[in-house]
Amino acid sequence: MSDKPEKLITDDGLRLDGRRADEIRPMKIEIGVLSRADGSCYLEWGRNKILVGVFGPREAHPRRSQRADTAVIRYKYNMASFSVEDRARPGPSRRSIEISKVSREAFEPVIMAELFPKTAIDIFVEVLQADAGTRTAAINASSVALADAGIPMKGLITSCAFGKIDGKIVLDLNKDEDNYGDADFPVAMTQDGEITLVQMDGHLTPEEIREGLELVKKGCKEILEIQQAVLRKKFETPMGELAEEAAETSNTENEVVEAEAPLEYASKVAVVEEALKETEEFEDAVSEDISEAGAVTEAVPELDELEEIIKEAEAGIEEETIEEVIESEIEEKAEEDEADFEASFEASFEEVSEPDEVEELEPEEAVSGEEETGFESEIEEFVEEEPQPAEELQVEEEAGIEEAASEETLESEPEVESEAESREEAPAEELEAEEESVEEPEEEKCEGPWKVVKDPSESGSRGEKDE
Ligand code: UDP
């Protein structure tokens, strides 16, 4: 630390560095100096050298730091250990934490954080060289860096301090003035002059503060002009340059489109071109097929006819339900079967009887009279007659077998049905006799109900006729 000078303001009213009371130190600003940051700024103000990097809006980590309705603004002021005459202790300190807090609050009124909920906007300040007024210098640099990052803001923030040295209010204290002065009063404000930060170190009267604030307004106005000039230089591009850039871009695009493939890809390009050609040929063939199919469809007049047929069928189905149609078909089928059965029955009957006898039997009176000689009347008599003793049945069977063994026409269906009926109604003795007859020799075996006919002479007469 340098020794205390005898005077901070010389006799001609100038300060030791040659400035007048209302002058700020020379300020130089560079924008976009950090490639990895979204926005950055390097600021020299007197012998202060400040570097600021802005990151965001980006997802806030840790998650518990997120806010659902707005972005969180994080401001980290750090003084490099080599930035001061006496080595500064690395890491956060009470002073750096305090400066970080008030500086963040200085920006909160202008940053439109509500547009980026759950995100964070990080502002990192590194003081590379300190010579008093580093917080105000950092705020000015941060304002430019935020604009460089594209963070929506209602306006820029500018900051400057005033102080009191040798009993006189002056603007923007340097290191000796800060160390050996009577007061230090840093201020930050918006473009509209609304104050967002006020601190005071020392003793000042209200009149001195009023006088000092007027100086600060003047100083902030000058700083704002420097900031705006820097931002304007980066983001405002003359129309002539824009036209030239557009022309260059269009020329480059045309060159890219017209550029031929390098030799190293020549073989692959040929393969791709061949595949494209095959694909086009295939698509043409498919389109031709489709067009031909369409022509065939148009040339078929039967479509209209088919539609009419379908409509008629649907109308028919409506008038006559499907169930009725099926029932009528079933009835027709049953009638046909019945007719076939009767025809076959009559045919078999004709084979059994002589033509003359058939003629006699056809009239109803002959069939229903007492002198029934037809096969049906025999069956009816058999069904209706009382069970006979086993001995009589056996005699009858033997007689029937001898006389009717050669009859072939007795295998007709009605006879079989009669046999079944007789089996149902015949007593056990009869059934046993039948079983015994089954055990007879092959040539004497006779099947059919005529084995048990009541009158053997009738059966024999038929057998004689067959012979
Ligand atoms: N300073 C220092 N060592 C420290 C802190 C500050 O040498 O640990 C110097 C530094 O040059 C700084 C000045 O003291 O600029 C005034 O510090 P102050 O706390 O007033 O903050 P500033 O004026 O930089 O915003």
Q: Is the CB of 84 under 6 A from ligand 1?
A: yes
Q: How many CA within 13 A on the CB side of residue 423?
A: 11
Among the residue ranges 23-37, 117-131, 433-447, the one predicted with the least confidence is: 433-447
CA of 47 to the centre of ligand 1 (A): 13
Counting the structural domains of the chain, the total is 3
Residues 326 and 441 in one domain: no
Give pLDDT, residue 292: 53
* Alpha-carbon distance values, 117 to 57, 72, 113 (Å): 9, 8, 7
Question: Contact 433/397 with Cβ under 8 angstroms?
Answer: yes
Residues 41 and 148 in one domain: yes
At 247, is the pLDDT very low, low, confident or very high (cuts 50, 70, 90)?
confident
The residue range of the domain holding 133 is: 27-235
| Higher pLDDT among residues 327 and 28, named by residue | 28
- Strand bridging mode 119-129 / 72-79: parallel
Residues 388 and 458 in one domain: yes
Q: Sign of the CA dihedral 449, 455, 458, 460?
A: positive
Q: What is the chain's mean pLDDT, rounded?
A: 75
Residues 87 and 161 in one domain: yes
| Higher pLDDT among residues 299 and 150, named by residue | 150
At 151, is the pLDDT very low, low, confident or very high (cuts 50, 70, 90)?
very high
Give pLDDT, residue 277: 77
Q: Is 279's pLDDT higher than 70?
A: yes
Residues 344 and 207 in one domain: no
Tell me how far apart the alpha carbons of residues 72 and 301 are, in angstroms, rounded to a whole number.
Answer: 76
Question: Contact 162/182 with Cβ under 8 angstroms?
Answer: no
Residue 297 CA, distance from chain mean position = 38
| Higher pLDDT among residues 175 and 439, named by residue | 175
Residues 376 and 343 in one domain: no
DSSP-derived secondary structure letter, 9:
B
Give pLDDT, residue 256: 45
Residue 149 tokens read as 């990052």
Residues 139 and 219 in one domain: yes
Q: Return the residue whose CA atom lies nearest to atom 15 of ligand 1.
A: 132
Mutate to test the pocket of ligand 1, among 2, 43, 81, 134 (most ligand atoms within 8 A of CB): 134
At 270, is the pLDDT very low, low, confident or very high (cuts 50, 70, 90)?
low
Q: Is the CB of 208 under 6 A from ligand 1?
A: no
Tell me how far apart the alpha carbons of residues 188 and 22 are, in angstroms, rounded to a whole number.
Answer: 17
Q: Is the CB of 95 under 6 A from ligand 1?
A: yes
Residues 393 and 432 in one domain: yes
Residues 334 and 372 in one domain: no
Tell me, yes or no, whether 89 lies in a domain.
Answer: yes
What is the dihedral angle through the alpha carbons of 60, 65, 70, 75, rounded to the nearest 10 degrees? -80
| Higher pLDDT among residues 88 and 417, named by residue | 88
| pLDDT (average), residues 272-279 | 73
Tell me, yes or no, whether 296 lies in a domain.
Answer: yes
Q: Is 145's pLDDT higher than 60?
A: yes
Tell me, yes or no, whether 119 lies in a domain.
Answer: yes
Tens of pLDDT, residue by residue over 194-239, are 999 999 999 999 999 999 999 999 999 999 999 999 999 999 877 7
Number of helices (H) and strands (E), helices first, in the chain?
15, 10
Residues 159 and 40 in one domain: yes
Using DSSP's 3-state secondary structure scheme, residue 385 falls into coil
Q: Return the residue whose CA atom lies nearest to atom 23 of ligand 1.
A: 133
Using DSSP's 3-state secondary structure scheme, residue 111 falls into strand
DSSP-derived secondary structure letter, 167:
T
CA of 95 to the centre of ligand 1 (A): 9
Q: Is 320's pLDDT higher than 70?
A: no
Q: Is the CB of 135 under 6 A from ligand 1?
A: yes
Give pLDDT, residue 284: 72
Give pLDDT, residue 359: 43
Tell me, yes or no, whether 2 lies in a domain.
Answer: no
**With helix as H, strand as E and coil as C, how does 48-74 read?**
EEEEEEEEEEEECCCHHHCECCECEEE
Tell me, yes or no, whether 360 lies in a domain.
Answer: yes
Tell me, yes or no, whether 132 lies in a domain.
Answer: yes
Q: Is the CB of 137 under 6 A from ligand 1?
A: no
Domain final residue pick, 348, 369, 397: 348
Strand pairing partners for 159? 188
| pLDDT (average), residues 119-134 | 98
Strand pairing partners for 77? 125
Residues 422 and 320 in one domain: no
Tell me, yes or no, whether 446 lies in a domain.
Answer: yes
Tell me how far apart the alpha carbons of residues 174 and 178 are, in angstroms, rounded to a whole number.
Answer: 6
Q: Is 432's pLDDT higher than 70?
A: no
Residues 190 and 272 in one domain: no
* Alpha-carbon distance values, 277 to 131, 258, 286 (Å): 74, 20, 14
Question: Contact 1/179 with Cβ under 8 angstroms?
Answer: yes
Q: What is the position in ligand 1's atom list of the atom closest to the CA of 86?
A: 7
The CATH number linked to 92 is 3.30.230.70
Using DSSP's 3-state secondary structure scheme, residue 120 falls into strand
At 124, is the pLDDT very low, low, confident or very high (cuts 50, 70, 90)?
very high
At 278, is the pLDDT very low, low, confident or very high (cuts 50, 70, 90)?
confident
Mutate to test the pocket of ligand 1, among 84, 85, 125, 171 (most ligand atoms within 8 A of CB): 84
Tell me, yes or no, whether 255 lies in a domain.
Answer: no
Q: Is 276's pLDDT higher than 80?
A: no
| Higher pLDDT among residues 185 and 276, named by residue | 185
CA of 385 to the centre of ligand 1 (A): 144
Q: Is 127's pLDDT higher than 60?
A: yes
Question: Contact 171/215 with Cβ under 8 angstroms?
Answer: yes
Among the residue ranges 3-7, 82-86, 381-385, 413-417, the one predicted with the least confidence is: 413-417
Residue 457 tokens read as 């002479």
Domain final residue pick, 235, 252, 272: 235
Q: Is the CB of 175 under 6 A from ligand 1?
A: yes
Give pLDDT, residue 260: 44
Q: Return the residue whose CA atom lies nearest to atom 2 of ligand 1.
A: 84
Give pLDDT, residue 214: 98
Question: Contact 418/379 with Cβ under 8 angstroms?
Answer: yes
Q: What is the position in ligand 1's atom list of the atom closest to the CA of 95?
A: 19
Looking at residue 289, its amino acid is D
Domain final residue pick, 291, 324, 348: 348
Q: Return the residue whose CA atom lies nearest to atom 7 of ligand 1.
A: 84
Count CB-CB contacts under 10 A for residue 271. Answer: 9
